[in-house]
Structure 1
């Protein structure tokens, strides 16, 4: 059974934007010898044996990189010269090889990253785990569930250097493989509460909320907001990006 944790960096967040970097870990019970496996970017030439495969690859595309995206991930057009297209990467070949419902595909806010993969022609057969959604369900009282917030709030930053050294990873801010490392540590925390299969079930279902966790009515229940500003409930239901919250409001208003 394979557990593939991955993250993408992209040219932007629009409809036409594409993947330009991917980082991934494949967790497995098997042992891999470096002489038998060609590792992406030759990260593990000095490591004889491990039960984790690492992919850290840049890839080129025809879409220009938005300056706002460069500001976040620091990937410039010059860095993509002579890099393979996404479908030519080692990650893409591995992803298709293991694409069955016996294996798990894991990301933080997986809807976005899976959507980017689908632009490359990928059709998913994996069981999905969204660590963002699972963190919301397991830690409902946390102020935020962004990966970097959880990195500090849960103290993951205190152990990430040791884990990075063990795996041969260099940590860089807003870098795909760096984010995957933090996600792996977050997954370890989530697995203290739920099994992989339970995390998969959480990912499939909406998370029901009864109050706002952000915005001008942060901390107020839907009942309280309806009493003072019912229009805000309707606005939030139609305009927020948080699908779980939108679902919760619809359920609260009796529209489901």
Structure 2
């Protein structure tokens, strides 16, 4: 029977050299729900910017085992099969961090951030905490947290996992409504791997304009973006190529 691993990490920062310092996840699909939540030490010091976000200080992880030595990590390795599903909000970030710890996921991945962007494209934001309030998930989370023995705290790995569990249920329903003839779980996997067509500029001199409009009026600017912007994300690159007919 397939298992569903809803996961989040907290890290020393977001740079290439940063590492995992908290691993939290819930395992669904078995007879009993598993809850794993462990802090771990790292040779990389926690940046002050990261501390501001998650509140984890050096003192909290001092003397802790490394990530790969934790029982949470070892159990994650046992779960890492093609039959299981990994659910993460903004999966590339957490998966990249786990890769630094030697973890190479074999599971099917559902990125709820990408699914939300596909299914709810007109939202002002797609951050987890945004949906926590917009969808009123906070009204449901205490009962769920009490049942699982989880303390809800914004930007804490296991607290975010609980919110993500509630968001996943909402997204599954939305996907079922949008694609009634398809399995919603498999469709979320498919959407995770499907490029997002960005319709409107949210930055730069054309902010607020439709990409198709800019393609007609200032195609040279779009070509410049493709050739010169190293930090252009994959979805924007895909969208520009689409509107330019490339």
Alignment TM-score, normalising by the size of structure 1:
0.86
Q: 1:121 to 1:223 in 2, by over 3 A?
A: same
Q: 1:240 to 1:145 in 2, by over 3 A?
A: farther
Matched, 1:74 2:74: no
Q: How many angstroms does 1:215 deviate by? A: 2.3
Q: Which moved more, 1:150-159 or 1:178-187?
A: 150-159
Equivalent residue, structure 2, for 1:38: none
Residues 95-114 of structure 1 correspond to what in structure 2 (within 5 A)?
Answer: 95-114=76-95
CA distance in structure 2 between the aligned counterparts of 1:242 and 1:187, rounded to whole angstroms: 24
Equivalent residue, structure 1, for 2:17: 16
Equivalent residue, structure 2, for 1:167: 148
Q: How many angstroms does 1:52 deviate by? A: 1.4
Q: 1:180 to 1:254 in 2, by over 3 A?
A: same
CA distance in structure 1 between the aligned counterparts of 2:223 and 2:152, rounded to whole angstroms: 42
Equivalent residue, structure 2, for 1:201: 190
Structure 2, unpaired ranges of 5+: 176-183
Equivalent residue, structure 2, for 1:188: 169
CA distance in structure 2 between the aligned counterparts of 1:236 and 1:8, rounded to whole angstroms: 32
Matched, 1:221 2:210: yes
Q: How many angstroms does 1:239 deviate by? A: 4.7
CA distance in structure 1 between the aligned counterparts of 2:160 and 2:232, rounded to whole angstroms: 22
Equivalent residue, structure 1, for 2:235: 244
What SS does the corresponding residue of 1:17 show, helix, strand or coil? coil
Contact 2:4 2:84 in 1 (8 A): yes
CA distance in structure 2 between the aligned counterparts of 1:229 and 1:84, rounded to whole angstroms: 55
Q: How many angstroms does 1:92 deviate by? A: 0.9
CA distance in structure 1 between the aligned counterparts of 2:232 and 2:72, rounded to whole angstroms: 29
Q: How many angstroms does 1:240 deviate by? A: 4.8
Q: Deviations over 1:226-250 (max 9, x none)?
A: 3555455346543555422221112
Q: 1:168 to 1:218 in 2, by over 3 A?
A: farther
Over the residues paired in the alignment, what is the CA RMSD in angstroms? 1.7
Q: How many angstroms does 1:130 deviate by? A: 0.1
CA distance in structure 1 between the aligned counterparts of 2:33 and 2:143, rounded to whole angstroms: 15
Q: How many angstroms does 1:76 deviate by? A: 0.7
Q: 1:234 to 1:67 in 2, by over 3 A?
A: farther
Q: How many angstroms does 1:124 deviate by? A: 1.5
What SS does the corresponding residue of 1:225 show, helix, strand or coil? helix
Contact 1:240 1:246 in 2 (8 A): no
Equivalent residue, structure 2, for 1:45: none
Q: 1:79 to 1:247 in 2, by over 3 A?
A: same
Structure 1, unpaired ranges of 5+: 32-50
Q: How many angstroms does 1:117 deviate by? A: 0.5
What SS does the corresponding residue of 1:210 show, helix, strand or coil? coil
Q: Deviations over 1:35-89 (max 9, x none)?
A: xxxxxxxxxxxxxxxx311111100010111111111111111111111110111
Alignment TM-score, normalising by the size of structure 2:
0.89
